[in-house]
Structure 1
Amino acid sequence: MAETDAAAAQQPPQIQMRVLGQFIRDMSFENVMAQRGASGDVQPDVNVQVNLDAKKRSTDNQYEIAIKLNITSKAKGMDDVLFVFEIDYCGIFHVEGVPNEQLHPFLLIECPRMLFPFLRRIVSDITRDGGYPPLNLDNIDFMALYRSELARQQAAAQAEQKADA
């Protein structure tokens, strides 16, 4: 019996994650080319910027995760903007069993991975409905995104320390 208790004490807690809800907080699709009355076949050059945000909610173990995309499509070789698409897509998650030191990366890596397929579908549908070929976003490596943001923050902190010295 004592061996069973010792083995249970050594095992890490079971991680549980549930998506409680998903929603679009804000969305804007500006079809610049159509507003100008222009049409025709153009090769798009698409720029996608991704921002992530995580907030603790008032309910225990609940977090709101937001993926913010800013997509600009220009005609290749020109500065003519075809469309601008901005969306804040959010999910409410119930997360338990994640150690505190691992919670921040968990929320900004694993939770966005769960939301991304739904967000990709929305982007594809909206661009298609806007008169363009569906924009099928490539997978986003949220771990690499998290690591690059950490590196950027550390570099900024070091630069600030050097400036203060």
Structure 2
Amino acid sequence: MSDTTTNPTENGAAEQAPQIKMNVLAQYIRDLSFENILAQKGTKGEAQPDVQVQVNLDAKKRQPDHQYEVVMKLKIDSKAKGSGNQLFLMELEYAGIFHIENVPENQLHPFLLIECPRMLFPFVRRIVSDISRDGGFPPLNLETIDFVQLYRSEIQRRQQAQAASGEASGQA
């Protein structure tokens, strides 16, 4: 007769992975610049805007255990369709300080660059809307950013850059 029973503590331990803890300790504007180029040039009139948004993310460990700073950097360039004249330029660095526990080490990097920016994004969207409106333009409501796709694209770009630099050093 074979013993097919399992130890309940082993099963419970496998099913009971540690609960991920994530707290936003602080969030703040680290840097903000808005230039109303249309007003500086003295140009008047309605212009159909063509808005380009660049997003960069950065994360680093802070001194206290389990604390990380995540920075979302946006560069928003608005030009008039047709003429290509610049309407405004906005640069924003928005940071969050997070307390994160129980995230496996191999999943920490994507967690910091996907989940943390998702928490910050509604505040960034509001700031961009308010600043563009206060700068003399209709409020700019950013489209939702797919942080998973942004993360994958950055990993792919880094791998291609590594492969290119490896080929270049191999030819020398």
- Output the TM-score relative to the length of structure 1: 0.96
Provide the rounded CA distance (Å) in 1 between the counterparts of 2:146 and 2:115: 10
Q: Structure 2 regions of 5+ residues with no counterpart? A: 1-5
Deviation at 1:3, TM superposition (A): 4.1
**Structure 2 letter corresponding to 1:15:** I
Deviation at 1:4, TM superposition (A): 4.5
Are 1:122 and 2:127 an aligned pair?
Answer: yes
Alignment equivalent of 1:74, drawn from 66, 72, 79? 79
Provide the rounded CA distance (Å) in 1 between the counterparts of 2:8 and 2:127: 49
Q: Structure 1 regions of 5+ residues with no counterpart? A: none
Alignment equivalent of 1:7, drawn from 2, 8, 11? 11
**Structure 2 letter corresponding to 1:145:** L
Are 1:52 and 2:57 an aligned pair?
Answer: yes
**Structure 2 letter corresponding to 1:118:** F
Hey, what does 2:140 align to over in structure 1?
135
Query: Where do 1:77-92 residues align within 5 Å?
Result: 77-92=82-97
Hey, what does 1:110 align to over in structure 2?
115
- Output the TM-score relative to the length of structure 2: 0.92
**Structure 1 letter corresponding to 2:129:** S
The share of aligned pairs that are identical, in percent, is 63
Deviation at 1:50, TM superposition (A): 0.2
Hey, what does 1:23 align to over in structure 2?
28
The residue matched to 1:33 in structure 2 has which SS? helix
Deviation at 1:82, TM superposition (A): 0.4
Hey, what does 1:145 align to over in structure 2?
150
**Structure 2 letter corresponding to 1:120:** R
Alignment: residue pair count: 164
Hey, what does 1:157 align to over in structure 2?
162
Q: Which has the larger radius of gyration?
A: 2
Give the RMSD, CA atoms, in angstroms.
Answer: 1.2
Deviation at 1:159, TM superposition (A): 1.1
